[in-house]
């Protein structure tokens, strides 16, 4: 019953607070994004991206900052500063990485969003987070109403490529989960995308040798990056792409 209710909540959210934008027919762009994000997304993935002079979007939940927890897999203030100084984008993933399916109070959702940006400013990074990723991909009508007031875009976890007319408040994505999608599968998607175009958003979590089911190895990640370069597909942050899109009236 609980699963059915959550599916219903997501379906209602899909039809609510839609902000349609048109993906130009000649657009062919890729964005790499990271959720949470584990330390390895900064130490390993950022190193690879910087090597190829590419920029990514890191959706961070500041409750995962290592000064708050002793978990060695969590990122530090220095990781965030390095990420920002190298031209990568910091996005919002709520402060406490909360479950929207379990929250009915819109004030709690609002507090989570504001607290995340406030904490970022407290540690000396004076940025306004402009783009959002739904924790766990969970969307409800109430949550979508709140987050869309604060952000230029919201990325979900629905599988697919953003093409033609899309809801900027529910961007589709492709998982870079090595245990789920082989390199051959990802390469096949990229080969097809190189002909059809659109906006392809990749997302993952950890990027390390002993990767989780939500992540991938550095070798896998670099192979995907190299394939994008081989196919001559431009890579941009979510912020850069969103700023170039026009709202459909």
Confidence of residue 218 (pLDDT cuts 50, 70, 90): very high
Per-residue pLDDT reduced to its tens digit, 1-31: 778 799 999 999 999 999 999 999 999 999 9
Cβ–Cβ under 8 Å, residues 116 and 95: yes
Q: Is the pTM of this model over 0.85?
A: yes
**Residue in 98, 151, 106, 100 with CA at minimum distance from that of residue 129:** 151
CB-based contacts of 141, cutoff 8 Å, min separation 6: 9, 12, 13, 16, 17
* pLDDT surpassing 70 at residue 242: yes
Please state, in angstroms and rounded to a whole number, the distance separating the CA atoms of residues 34 and 92: 11
Please state, in angstroms and rounded to a whole number, the distance separating the CA atoms of residues 40 and 47: 10
Mode of pairing for the β-strands spanning 131-133 and 246-247: unpaired
pLDDT at site 2 = 78
pLDDT at site 24 = 93
Per-residue pLDDT reduced to its tens digit, 32-85: 999 998 999 999 999 999 999 999 999 999 999 975 555 567 899 999 999 999
pLDDT at site 183 = 98
Please state, in angstroms and rounded to a whole number, the distance separating the CA atoms of residues 60 and 120: 10
Q: Is the dihedral of CA 239, 139, 101, 35 positive or negative?
A: negative
Per-residue pLDDT reduced to its tens digit, 86-119: 999 999 999 999 999 999 899 999 999 999 999 9
* pLDDT surpassing 60 at residue 249: no
Per-residue pLDDT reduced to its tens digit, 153-196: 999 999 999 999 999 999 999 999 999 999 999 999 999 999 99
Please state, in angstroms and rounded to a whole number, the distance separating the CA atoms of residues 133 and 169: 10
pLDDT at site 100 = 96
Q: H or E segment at 132?
A: strand 131-133
pLDDT at site 247 = 64
pLDDT at site 67 = 58
- The count of other CB atoms within 10 Å of the CB of residue 76 is 14
pLDDT at site 248 = 61
pLDDT at site 89 = 98
Cβ–Cβ under 8 Å, residues 179 and 141: no
Q: Which two tokens stand for residue 200?
A: 């392809």
DSSP structure string for 28-77:
EEEEEEEEE--HHIIIIIHHHHHHTT---EEEE-GGG-TTT---TTS--H
């Amino acid at each position: 019953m609980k699963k059915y209710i959550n599916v219903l909540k997501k379906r209602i959210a899909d039809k609510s607070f839609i902000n349609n934008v048109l993906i130009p027919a000649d657009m062919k762009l890729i964005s790499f994004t990271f959720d949470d994000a584990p330390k390895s997304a900064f130490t390993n993935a950022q190193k690879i991206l910087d090597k190829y002079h590419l920029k990514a979007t890191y959706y961070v939940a500041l409750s995962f900052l290592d000064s708050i927890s002793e978990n060695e897999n969590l990122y530090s203030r220095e990781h965030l500063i390095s990420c920002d100084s190298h031209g990568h984008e910091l996005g919002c993933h709520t402060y406490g990485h909360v479950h929207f399916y379990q929250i009915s109070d819109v004030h709690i959702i609002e507090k989570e969003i504001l607290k995340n940006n406030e904490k970022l400013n407290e540690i000396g990074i004076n940025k306004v987070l402009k783009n959002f990723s739904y924790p766990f991909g969970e969307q409800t009508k109430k949550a979508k109403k709140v987050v869309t007031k604060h952000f230029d875009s919201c990325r979900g976890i629905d599988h697919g490529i953003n093409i033609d007319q899309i809801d900027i408040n529910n961007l589709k994505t492709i998982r870079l989960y090595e245990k789920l999608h082989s390199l051959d599968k990802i390469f096949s998607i990229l080969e097809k995308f190189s002909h059809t175009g659109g906006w392809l958003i990749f997302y993952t979590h950890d990027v390390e040798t002993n990767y989780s089911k939500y992540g991938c190895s550095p070798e896998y990640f670099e192979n995907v990056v190299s394939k994008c370069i081989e196919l001559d597909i431009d890579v941009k942050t979510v912020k850069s792409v969103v700023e170039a899109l026009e709202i459909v009236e």
